[in-house]
Amino acid sequence: MAATQLPFQTSSSSFSKPLRHSLTRNPFSQNPILPLRPASLKPLVLRAVVSQNPSKSLTQDPQTTPFKHCFSKSSDGFLYCEGLKVQEVIDSVERRPFYLYSKPQITRNVEAYKEALEGLSSVIGYAIKANNNYKILEHLRQLGCGAVLVSGNELRLALRAGFDPTKCIFNGNGKLLEDLVLAAQEGVFINVDSEFDLENIVAAARIAGKRVNVLLRINPDVDPQVHPYVATGNKNSKFGIRNEKLQWFLDAVKAHPNELKLVGAHCHLGSTITKVDIFRDAAVLMVKYIDEIRSQGFQVDYLNIGGGLGIDYYHAGAVLPTPRDLIDTVRDVVQSQGLNLIIEPGRSLIANSCCLVNRVTGVKTNGTKNFIVIDGSMAELIRPSLYDAYQSWFLLLHLMLRFLLLMWLALFVSLRIS
């Protein structure tokens, strides 16, 4: 188990190679290298609705394969992690608060995906944004994962952690030219997100002197039925390209055979998805796009269906789809087309392996509200305060007694004052 978040220096990265251009902007863009005009559009008007009968697409009953958790509350009232009393960890560490991770749980999570993917040619690209702890990255790399990156820093971090660049995918709608150049030099796959992004990737390929393997990030316009903040695959999304624009992008790739090699298509519907039939809807649509792409002479071998599998936030015994449920819904679609499957799990690989351990600092009352003050803050965990996300919490027994004592004292003091 690891009980730290390691700081990581990126400024002195050995991967920053000197370049002749300042790269604050695309040096080629004075003379636009792409015909940024509506190309001869051959509209592919495909749109999905959510499957009406999810059970048809599931080949295994999700009720039979619940995810295992490494944290459990014992009858003595204490929290245990892999059989270790969390209180004992608290007593042994010097600095608080801290994140406590279970390495075996991370391994089990990866194994669950690997087992689900058996028989398929695949890449598990861990979405580094879910947790960029360096030790965790090294562990995931040792387990054979690739990495999904959304910034230059994540790219440098992944390279430093030793990820195989050909198992890395550089995503995002605002990728910087200098980072694209690094990705091109290292042979990382790059997702094309927009017209200007494609222009920058072409420029990066020229500067790096390398032909770049690219995937087109297409919005299949499937409603993932999740919080709007984490729904990213619909037609108004800030990510990816509208499916109606596919032909323009195919023409642009054809116009740059020395710079771009189109190897696949990508989509990411959103996060916290709990109905796996949505992934099937998306895969079916994506395969239609791939058919269209192949019919124009491209040899595309990769289908990237992104991340997004939901997790057990509430710890209330909900039965959620497992990696096997997810993969089994798309298996036949992928196999029938002879595609390599890329998946990009983030939270489902890491979230259940970790807890933030805080201590109660004191209790205070303002107005009609009582506050339990702890030594952790939004600096350590921003989600609940950022967008009201639910956070499961657990009060250890002796801390609870301490808390009750403090509450009693506060009440006693306020009675004496009044």
Ligand X SMILES: Cc1ncc(COP(=O)(O)O)c(C=O)c1O
Binding site for ligand X (CB under 6 A): 127, 130, 148, 171, 232, 268, 271, 306-309, 344-348
The β-bridge partners of 219 are 242
Task: For ligand X, give the closer residue by CB, 28 or 239.
Answer: 239
Minimum distance, C-beta of residue 170 to ligand X, in the bound complex (Å): 10
Q: Is 360:393 a contact under the CB 8 Å cutoff?
A: no
> Which of 307, 233, 229 lies closest to 269, judged by CA?
233
Minimum distance, C-beta of residue 171 to ligand X, in the bound complex (Å): 5
Which residues does 353 contact at the CB level (< 8 Å), separation at least 6?
70, 101, 102, 103, 105, 106, 109
| Distance in angstroms (rounded) separating the CA atoms of residues 368 and 27 | 61
Residue with tokens 């058919």: 291
Task: For ligand X, give the closer residue by CB, 386 or 405.
Answer: 386
Task: For ligand X, give the closer residue by CB, 149 or 181.
Answer: 149
Length of the chain equals: 418
The β-bridge partners of 364 are 371
Question: Which pair of tokens denotes residue 249?
Answer: 């992008």
Task: For ligand X, give the closer residue by CB, 97 or 307.
Answer: 307
Which residues does 95 contact at the CB level (< 8 Å), separation at least 6?
none
Give the C-alpha distances (Å, rounded to integers) separating 113 from 167, 233, 307: 16, 23, 12
Pairing of strands 302-304, 260-266: parallel
The β-bridge partners of 122 are 341
| Distance in angstroms (rounded) separating the CA atoms of residues 102 and 72 | 12
Q: Is 239:275 a contact under the CB 8 Å cutoff?
A: no
Minimum distance, C-beta of residue 132 to ligand X, in the bound complex (Å): 13
Minimum distance, C-beta of residue 148 to ligand X, in the bound complex (Å): 5
Minimum distance, C-beta of residue 345 to ligand X, in the bound complex (Å): 5
Task: For ligand X, give the closer residue by CB, 238 or 369.
Answer: 238
Question: Which pair of tokens denotes residue 124?
Answer: 């598990």
Minimum distance, C-beta of residue 104 to ligand X, in the bound complex (Å): 21
Minimum distance, C-beta of residue 240 to ligand X, in the bound complex (Å): 9
Q: In what order do the strands lie in the sheet with 71-73?
A: 71-73, 79-81, 84-85
Task: For ligand X, give the closer residue by CB, 28 or 101.
Answer: 101
In the bound state, the residue with its beta carbon closest to ligand X is: 346
Pairing of strands 302-304, 340-343: parallel
Task: For ligand X, give the closer residue by CB, 28 or 249.
Answer: 249
Minimum distance, C-beta of residue 226 to ligand X, in the bound complex (Å): 9
Pairing of strands 241-242, 212-219: parallel
| Distance in angstroms (rounded) separating the CA atoms of residues 29 and 154 | 26
Task: For ligand X, give the closer residue by CB, 185 or 348.
Answer: 348
Minimum distance, C-beta of residue 79 to ligand X, in the bound complex (Å): 25
Minimum distance, C-beta of residue 396 to ligand X, in the bound complex (Å): 28
Task: For ligand X, give the closer residue by CB, 230 or 360.
Answer: 230
Q: How far, rounded to the nearest angstrom, does the alpha carbon of residue 240 sit from its chain's CA centroid?
A: 16
Task: For ligand X, give the closer residue by CB, 90 or 216.
Answer: 216
